[in-house]
Amino acid sequence: MSKRVLVVLGHPSGESFCAALTEAYVEAASGAGHDVRVLRLDALSFDPVLRSGYRQVQPLEPELLGAQADITWAEHLVFIYPIWWGGIPALMKGFFDRVFLPGFAFRYRAGKAFPEQLLKGRTAHLLVTMDTPPWYYRWVYRMPGIHQVRKTTLQFCGIRPLRTLMFGPVLGSSAQRREAWLERARGIAV
């Protein structure tokens, strides 16, 4: 069954292995008949700082309004990003801060501990690169950069993460190893 898929490349460089994973996923998803859009955060022009928190409305740049329209359009989202210092890159964090706003991604409710999830009905995949061995990141560090996206961002807004693939260590990896990782990315895109 065909889906509307939005792929978000959260790496600030278009020359990264994350960019290669994005291309592989998009190629496989398109080949499987899905309607695919790509949002490259490195190509957007926006202020990643939520200047006043939620106390004051900070007008969205046209590209962020377009990103919200793409998220609304999508049935399935794919976030591809590196783990840096245990977490997500500042550009991706700024994107979440500026785009996943009250009234768009969630709505506070008087007397309720948790807000209304406004992005319910969508699913997601996470494809994450790192220079730490994934087993170490999982068992020793406890995956803060994955939990931040899966639980405290996506699930908080109603998006249901289906699968997370961790690729690493990328630093020093062979061409054969990277090709195997690209094949795994293609495999979940269908």
| Residue whose token pair is 């106390």 | 55
Task: Give the rounded distance of the alpha carbon of 110 from its chain centre.
Answer: 30
Convert the pLDDT of each residue in 125-173 to its tens digit: 999 999 999 999 999 999 999 999 999 999 999 999 999 999 999 999 9
- Break the chain into its structural domains and give their ranges: 4-187
Sheet containing strand 123-129, strands side by side? 35-40, 4-9, 76-82, 123-129, 160-167
Query: What is this structure's pTM?
Result: 0.97
Partners of 78 in beta bridges: 7, 125
pLDDT tens for the chain, residues 1 to 190: 899 999 999 999 999 999 999 999 999 999 999 999 999 999 999 999 999 999 999 999 999 999 999 999 999 999 999 999 999 999 999 999 999 999 999 999 999 999 999 999 999 999 999 999 999 999 999 999 999 999 999 999 999 999 999 999 999 999 999 999 999 999 999 8
For position 125, what pLDDT does the model report? 98
In the three-class reduction of DSSP (H, G, I as helix; E, B as strand; rest coil), residue 185 is classed as: helix
For position 65, what pLDDT does the model report? 98
For position 1, what pLDDT does the model report? 86
- What are the φ and ψ backbone dihedral angles of 160, each rounded to 5 degrees? -100, 105
Closest CA to 35 of 75, 8, 69, 66: 75
Class of domain 4-187: alpha beta
Task: For residue 49, give both structure tokens.
Answer: 């700082």
Are 34 and 28 in contact by the 8 Å Cβ rule? The answer is no
